Structure 1
Amino acid sequence: MENKELFHLDNQLCFSLYACSRAILRLYRPFLDELNLTYPQYLVLLALWEKEQSTVKQLGKLLDLDSGTLTPMLKRMEAAGLIERQRDKTDERVVIVTITEKGEAIKEKAFCIPKSLLEASGMTVEEVQALNKVIKQLTQQVHSI
């Protein structure tokens, strides 16, 4: 690739990932709106559906969110009855986040969200998983710099 082509928008991986992310979020929006969730709240629920409980610190690391972003969101989710937050009895600095029955009940309604992406992509499950693996490798590599 010539130097001048390096500055073509179509050759920018960051732009392709950005545009793809925005398109996926537009696809998810009607489903998330129906569930009264924001995308980051959906990510928190995905993590808790998998583990049932987590510390705020673990969630922040997993979702790549700082506590200044995560804590207010968790407070709103707690007010909505989706999660509970409690200080660890052995270490008051640690806050444990647990999914509630109401938060768990949303899981079944949310199955349509990943299915919608798979259908819209025109790709097989294996192709989407392979792409996801490559993107995770790239993310890990860039984070390590």
Structure 2
Amino acid sequence: MTTEKDSNPLSLDNQVCFSLYSAVNAMVRAYRPLLNKLDLTYPQYLAMLVLWEHEGISVKTLGDKLHLDSGTLTPLLKRLEGKGLISRGRSEKDERVRVLHITQDGESLRESAMEIPELMRCKVGTPMESLVQLKSLCDQVYHELAVEKS
């Protein structure tokens, strides 16, 4: 038996986008108390994750990895630099290219952040296999929509 709600394409309950939106908001709220201890916002945390993994990358590469444009990224990086976590410099190969480096304080923060992924896995309470599958589906949706934009 099909209910009117099941067949209504405009029903909120039938919108994948709303489920993703709600899950993202809940995830960011769950991160907040953990990141407050590090004095980081969620976007700053994401930037630091990339920088911890790829020391000395360009601002453009960071933007590509985070799917952010320079207008969004520049203020975020200025705040991280103001906190003493990163330094922004010029590439030795091309002076037009801005490169990012982790400071000693930024490296120290990395140690404090090490427990966050496991704490979040515990908060979510979903088996790792399901989380890996969810990530893969989200990546697939992003790829399909981002390719469509280009």
TM score, norm. by length of structure 2: 0.89
**Unaligned stretches of 5+ residues in structure 1:** none
In structure 2, the partner of 1:6 is 9
Q: CA deviation at 1:88?
A: 1.1
1:25 to 16, 25, 28: 28
CA RMSD of aligned residues (A): 1.7
Query: What amino acid sits opposite 1:59 in the alignment?
Result: L
Query: What amino acid sits opposite 1:46 in the alignment?
Result: L
Q: How does 1:65-84 map to 2 (within 5 A)?
A: 65-84=68-87
Query: What amino acid sits opposite 1:11 in the alignment?
Result: N
Q: Are positions 1:139 and 2:124 aligned together?
A: no
Q: Are positions 1:120 and 2:143 aligned together?
A: no
Question: Contact conserved, 1:27 with 1:116, CA < 8 A, in 2?
Answer: no
1:57 to 41, 52, 60: 60
Higher RCO (CA-CA < 8 Å; seq separation 6+): 1
Runs (4+) of structure 1 exceeding 4 A deviation are 1-4
Query: What amino acid sits opposite 1:76 in the alignment?
Result: R
Query: What amino acid sits opposite 2:103 in the alignment?
Result: T
**Alignment size in residue pairs:** 145
Between the aligned residues of both structures, percent identity stands at 46
Q: Distance in 1 between matches of 2:7 and 2:51?
A: 46
Q: Distance in 2 between matches of 1:87 and 1:46?
A: 21
**Unaligned stretches of 5+ residues in structure 2:** none
